[in-house]
Structure 1
Amino acid sequence: MKKTKKTRNKPLNINDITIIDDGKLKKAITAAALGNAMEWFDFGVYGFLAYILGQVFFPDASPSVQMIAALATFSVPFLVRPLGGVVFGILGDKFGRQKVLSVTIIIMAISTFCIGLIPSYAAIGIWAPILLLLAKLAQGFSIGGEYSGAAIFVAEYSPDRKRGFMGSWLDFGSIAGFLLGAGFVVLLSSLLGEARLHDWGWRIPFFLALPLGFIGLYLRHALEETPAFQQHVDNLEKNEKINSDHQPKVSLKEIATKYWKSLAVCVGLVIVTNVTYYMLLTYMPSYLSHNLHYSADHGLLIIIAIMVGMLFVQPAIGLLSDKIGRKPFVIGGSIGLLLFTYPAFIMINSDMVGFIFLGLLVLAILLNCFIGVMASILPAIFPTNVRYSALAISFNISVLVAGATPTAIAWLVETTGNLYMPAFYLMVVAVIGIVTGLKMKETANKPLRGATPAASDRSEAKQILSEHYDNIEQKVEDIEQQLKELEKKRQDLIDQHPKLD
């Protein structure tokens, strides 16, 4: 291979700063958030229908085992998510984010739709749970590239000073999708009644995935590639290292050894966020109805009210993180989880509606601290050329732990008989969050790693350029001061040696 001479860094000028088109940014957020909403629509429906799905697909088991089996079917697909992350991550770094996200959303839509088509155990026996598992595995494979790609898509389209606010809309889509799923289950239950919901009504929410998927495909297919990835490809072509059809490969081993600190931060943040997420939004409905014997309808309404509140808090945290940084929310949310989870579960177990609501509200606010900043942190800690691969792999390996949360907690509560096991579980996870928050670097108001700055307009670009120069000047002054101090130390040492005068 021919070696190239190392050149000096060129001064940054106004034309080097990417100006983000506001219309394209809004379309990118809508397209990305819709896929995430569809993913969590299924999670919401599955979580709120878990007791019915247990009866439909595992009728010979006891009610407790039915619940655990249904939640286990929810958790098993997480085993294939890392594989999906590897495949779609590599494809995303090679061919672009837009193309891969168009593929993941259609696989997710078709597999979710197929769940509604599966006959019951009474009709086809053991093939019913097997087909359910296969559909969930297909979901897991596609989701392996979905969230990571969507977060990258939004981050690479966002101006540096608004990345927290823009990224927060991705998980706004998650909450909205979950809320839509849960609300739809409540609506069906009230319209159809328990008997018809059990017989055939539970299939209807899964059928909605197909039209939603085609809408998402249309929106994503109409978008251009992200500015950051296109800039990366253009730079490769300019340097004549590679053409547009064949990009240099970075091995998974190289990613693991070179970016292990970023991978560790990703793993820690995803674990604390998603364990809290699945605990509150997937497990708690079953916990309220099955373990606390609370009215299923009342439990659903309380959690739906909590999620509506989360929708308003979510973008506010993203916006605030652009002002004060992301780290305060990760550290503060983790400390809050450690200190307030047990009191929250005392209120949840009080059998009083007001206290149950307050306990769930505490968990929801702490969850908002994480999901409000996660989508803006994760893409920023990896460089463009390996961003999709590194994020998708580390994200989905972490989700292996988080995805087991509903099953693990259901088993722990059933085995120990201790209704506070969910609180202890979250407190252990909180420690991981605290360590992660302390170790991570601040990413707010900074360019994505390896990318040039991005601004909303030319006026903002001028401000960024001015601050960039001010920062350089300050660093030069600091270095000059350090040199003076070193020169003084050098002279002091020379004065102490007779032969160095």
Structure 2
Amino acid sequence: MRSRKKTVNPIGLQDITIVDDAKMRKAITAAALGNAMEWFDFGVYGFVAYALGKIFFPGADPSVQMIAALATFSVPFLIRPIGGVFFGAIGDKYGRQKVLAATIVIMSLSTFAIGLIPSYESIGIWAPILLLLAKMAQGFSVGGEYTGASIFVAEYAPDRKRGFLGSWLDFGSIAGFVLGAGVVVLISSVIGEEKFLEWGWRLPFFLALPLGMVGLYLRNALEETPAFQQHVEKLEQGDREGLAHGPKVSFKEVATKHWRSLLTCIGVVAATNVTYYMLLTYMPSYLSHNLHYSEDRGVLIIVAIMVGMLFVQPIIGFVSDKIGRRPFIIAGSIALLLLSIPAFKLINSGQLGLIFAGLLIIAVILNFFIGVMASTLPAMFPTHIRYSALASAFNVSVLIAGITPTAVAWLVETTNDLYMPAYYLMVVAVIGLITGLTMKETANKPLRGAAPAASDLNEARELLQEHHDNIEQKIEDIDTQIAELQAKRENLVQQHPRID
């Protein structure tokens, strides 16, 4: 049988995707709003955990109430990998936009449902059961939400601006937290703590429905990403019949060919999300329950920290387009390892200014991670498996990170050591550092399996020249390797009497 040589056409200017600014802005807005919706609920839940503990676990000790409420927050993370596998396969087969429309519907409805659940006094054990079911529905939808949103933004963004544009996704996360916390503080201060515990805690969850409707409207108006459209067009040219059933996704390929990328993804997400949940979900309860600050005062401190994070977030993304993503992962991990104990010494000082400074240290370190995560992760996998691979790896690591509030609360109560959160962060810092040192740089490079993407024609010309220069350098490297191998061959030939 004769083998036919595969013809590869030279890459020209026509092969570079020039991103439409209007479509790109819509994509980022819709993705960030959905992420804000997700973290609005997580923020509200973290800030009203003390209230939920009293309402759904009224007979327990106050410490047990808080741990039980935080455990209800953590249990849905067991469901996230299932949602990740389900939505990941759909996203790679039928497109990213369809999944993002579905996840925001499930997320908003399940969050709204929490506000409808009667108290333990009204329906007994069914109250915490219904709460758990609503949180599990959230976990299922969130399994495909963040990964889908980050892929959507990454596949729309020009190569040289992917870090800056991707940073707005987690800007939405922080904004959702700020909104959730602000709503809790506003309602609690207006109606008082007694009425807040009676019925006011429900109001923040009710806001999820209108927010979800806005997000659904924006996402339904979006077009599919250029990278996925290019992938489908290639399939149309090669296998029209197979395309009728959607692109094929091989999990064996993900596990065997891309295991290094999977491990890198797990390391980055674990370091990022443990720090995230420690600061934004656990710390409000830590300040109120362990340091005996009033709930409102603890929340206000965290809200002030998050507002500051909003300003830092896009700066990190912008700088990462200039110097790369790896420096931020490495620097953030080293800072977390060295500064966690000093930060908690400040937090436990009892002085408001020092408490704020300690939390600010952790917040800036967190910015180093989340400022680059949304642009780093999608670049690790090729287009045809990007959603499946990223969703699987992301949700496995989030499964680990999601137990952070419950685990740390239990460790503090068991050991009576207020520095347990710092030790926890230091362990995670080692994981982040190993990951940062071993990962490949992805800044200013096309996504794997996708054409280069530019903001305008001039930038497209520059990218094309860089691409050609890169090819020339690779050819020179190969020629050097061939010459070295040829010299080794000649040396070996001379040592053998019967080989010319």
Which TM class, normalised by the smaller chain length?
Answer: over 0.9
TM-score where L is the length of structure 1: 0.97
Letter in 2 for 1:274: N
Structure 2 SS opposite 1:441: coil
Equivalence for 2:474: 475
**In the superposition, relative to structure 1, how do residues 204 and 470 fare at CA in structure 2: closer, same or farther (>3 Å)?**
same
Describe the superposition over 1:60-99 as per-residue Cα deviations: whole angstroms up to 9, x where unpaired: 0010000001000100111111111111111111110001
CA distance in 2, matches of 1:221, 1:56: 37
Question: Number of residue pairs matched?
Answer: 500
Structure 1 position 491, deviation (Å): 4.8
CA distance in 1, matches of 2:448, 2:2: 25
CA RMSD of aligned residues (A): 1.7
Residues 39 and 108 in structure 1, CA contact (< 8 A), matched pair in contact too: yes
CA distance in 2, matches of 1:270, 1:493: 49
Residues 92 and 247 in structure 2, CA contact (< 8 A), matched pair in contact too: no
Letter in 2 for 1:27: K
Q: Percent identity?
A: 72
**In the superposition, relative to structure 1, how do residues 94 and 6 fare at CA in structure 2: closer, same or farther (>3 Å)?**
farther
* Structure 1 residues 51-200: aligned runs within 5 Å: 51-200=50-199
Structure 2 SS opposite 1:452: coil
* Structure 1 residues 396-475: aligned runs within 5 Å: 396-475=395-474
Structure 1 position 474, deviation (Å): 2.1
Describe the superposition over 1:9-56 as per-residue Cα deviations: whole angstroms up to 9, x where unpaired: 321100111111011000000000011001110111110100000001
Structure 1 position 397, deviation (Å): 1.2
Equivalence for 2:215: 216
**In the superposition, relative to structure 1, how do residues 64 and 153 fare at CA in structure 2: closer, same or farther (>3 Å)?**
same
CA distance in 2, matches of 1:99, 1:6: 38
CA distance in 2, matches of 1:128, 1:4: 67
* Structure 1 residues 28-427: aligned runs within 5 Å: 28-240=27-239, 242-427=241-426
TM-score where L is the length of structure 2: 0.97
CA distance in 1, matches of 2:4, 2:125: 65
CA distance in 1, matches of 2:73, 2:3: 52
CA distance in 2, matches of 1:478, 1:140: 48
CA distance in 2, matches of 1:94, 1:248: 5
**In the superposition, relative to structure 1, how do residues 236 and 69 fare at CA in structure 2: closer, same or farther (>3 Å)?**
same
Residues 101 and 149 in structure 1, CA contact (< 8 A), matched pair in contact too: yes
Describe the superposition over 1:300-356 as per-residue Cα deviations: whole angstroms up to 9, x where unpaired: 111111101100100000011110000000011001100000110011000011110
Letter in 1 for 2:376: I
Q: In structure 2, list runs of 5 or more residues that go unmatched.
A: none
Mean Cα displacement is larger for which, 36-45 or 7-16? Answer: 7-16
Structure 1 position 258, deviation (Å): 1.9
Structure 2 SS opposite 1:200: helix
**In the superposition, relative to structure 1, how do residues 194 and 102 fare at CA in structure 2: closer, same or farther (>3 Å)?**
same
Letter in 2 for 1:46: Y
Letter in 1 for 2:278: M
Structure 1 SS opposite 2:201: helix
CA distance in 2, matches of 1:13, 1:251: 31
Mean Cα displacement is larger for which, 299-308 or 400-409? Answer: 299-308
Describe the superposition over 1:169-201 as per-residue Cα deviations: whole angstroms up to 9, x where unpaired: 000000000011001111111111111111111
Describe the superposition over 1:215-246 as per-residue Cα deviations: whole angstroms up to 9, x where unpaired: 00000000000000011001000112545431
Matched, 1:18 2:17: yes
